[in-house]
Amino acid sequence: MGADPVAGVTPEGSRITVAIVDDHPVVIEGIRSWLATESRLAVVATGEDPDAVLGAGQPAADVILLDLRLHGRMVIDKVAELSGAGRRVVVYSEHTDSDTILAVLDAGAVAFLAKHEGREHCVQTVLAAASDRPYVPPALAGAIVGDRRSGRPVLSDKEREALLLWFQSMSKASVARRMNISEHTVKQYVDRARIKYARAGRPAATKAALLARAIEDGLVRADEIGN
């Protein structure tokens, strides 16, 4: 059985279940073959309709790979719906303009993957998403670095330090040990940063979105994030 999609981080070394939603069967089979090269990944559901693939009675999936354009329509609203329900959504698409990628992150996706980026980036993105770790493929990095939207909040030194370590760590617990503070305090620092970005009109509900904000504002470089 896959992990409960709202239960938190998938345990290290456990089986990671994946659902693929795409309206082109050949794309589904191609991604399935890529994921099959990693023994920890198991595709448990596929199809062209996200409601059918992810509905009641279907196997739970730790990570959802969702094509951004289904049946001729951009489904950013579905990204927001699934993310709001606590699902880990990795969007993959041939639409790689920066505005689209940033809109996907703003909608709550944990990552964006361009369809041309290949097997290695696909596998690593899914593994990172299941563990709630950031992974920055080239298209996502380019969109983040190129974002020049205004409204940069002022973070305290401790908030900045906690964010930087969190982006490079597996858990808030490891950040707490590194900073010699409690895990609750780490969470407070992260939550304060999120609140500041929300007040600035740049919400960052997920780790991927908060990482995007940090890169945009020069707090961290994309190449500093461990893959």
In a domain, 4, yes or no: no
pLDDT > 70: percent of the chain? 88
pLDDT in tens, 32-66: 999 999 999 999 999 999 999 998 888 889 999 99
Rg (CA), the chain: 17
H or E element that contains 172: helix 172-179
Q: How confident is the model at residue 5 (pLDDT cuts 50, 70, 90)?
A: very low
In a domain, 73, yes or no: yes
Residue 8: count of CB within 10 angstroms of its CB: 11
Is the separation of the CB atoms in 110 and 209 below 8 Å? no
H or E element that contains 52: helix 50-53
Q: How confident is the model at residue 8 (pLDDT cuts 50, 70, 90)?
A: very low
Does residue 227 carry a pLDDT above 60? no
In a domain, 7, yes or no: no
Question: What is the span of the domain harbouring residue 103?
Answer: 12-225
In a domain, 6, yes or no: no
In a domain, 195, yes or no: yes
What is the rounded average pLDDT of the residues 178-193?
A: 87
CATH code (residue 62): 3.40.50.2300
Does residue 216 carry a pLDDT above 90? no
Residue 83 Cα to chain centre, angstroms: 10
Q: Of residues 52 and 195, which shows the higher confidence score? A: 52
User: How many contiguous H segments (helices) and E segments (strands) does the chain have?
Assistant: 10, 7
In a domain, 58, yes or no: yes
In a domain, 125, yes or no: yes
How many domains does the chain fold into?
1
> Is the torsion defined by CA of 202, 147, 215, 81 positive or negative?
positive
In a domain, 84, yes or no: yes
Q: How confident is the model at residue 19 (pLDDT cuts 50, 70, 90)?
A: very high
pLDDT > 90: percent of the chain? 38
